[in-house]
Amino acid sequence: MDALAEFDDGTVGVIDFKTTNPNDDHVGRYSLQLHSYAHAVERPAIGAAVSRPVTLLGLACFEPAEMLRLPSGDLAYRTSASWLDVPRDDATFFAILDLVLGILEHPEPPPAAEKCQWCLRRNGGMTRIPA
C-alpha cells in the first residue's frame, strides 16, 4: 500500500498511487488490491499493529504531462493529479477470495475453459490479456 490516511475519528483510508491517466476502468482493475490492503489493516497479525477501521479506499492518479530538467541536472515530470474513489464491497471481495481458495485447494489446476483469458495466457495462446 502506498499511503494510509489517518482521520480524526480514528478510522483510516487506504490509498494507492498510480502514474496513469485516470479513468473509471481503474476502479475495477485495482479494487481487489485495495480491498486486500484494507483487510490486512483491519485484521493485523497477532502482535502487529493495532487494527483500525478502513473507511476510504481510493486511487491517487498522477498523469504525466511534461518532463523537466531541474537546475541540478536531475529529471522530474509535471503531473495532473486526480482522485478516484473505490467503493467498499466486502461481499464481492470475500466471494472472489472464496473462489480463489477453492481453486487453490485442488491438487491439479482446473481444465482450461475455451474463452478464459487467464487460461489462454497460461497456455501461451496470447501475450497480453485484453482489457
52 within some domain = yes
pLDDT score for 17: 95
Number of domains observed in the structure of the chain: 1
51 within some domain = yes
Q: Indicate the helix (H) or strand (E) that contains 104.
A: helix 90-104
Bridge partners of 51?
A: none
Domain boundaries, position 67: 3-88
If we measure between CA atoms, which residue out of 81, 77, 82, 83 comes closest to residue 65?
77
Taking the C-alpha atoms of residue 34 and residue 90, their distance in angstroms, rounded to an integer, is 11
pLDDT < 70 positions in the chain: 122-131
Answer yes or no: pTM beyond 0.95.
Answer: no
**How many CB atoms are closer than 10 A to CB 26?**
18
53 within some domain = yes
Cell numbers at residue 64, please?
Answer: 504525466
97 within some domain = no
pLDDT score for 95: 94
35 within some domain = yes
30 within some domain = yes
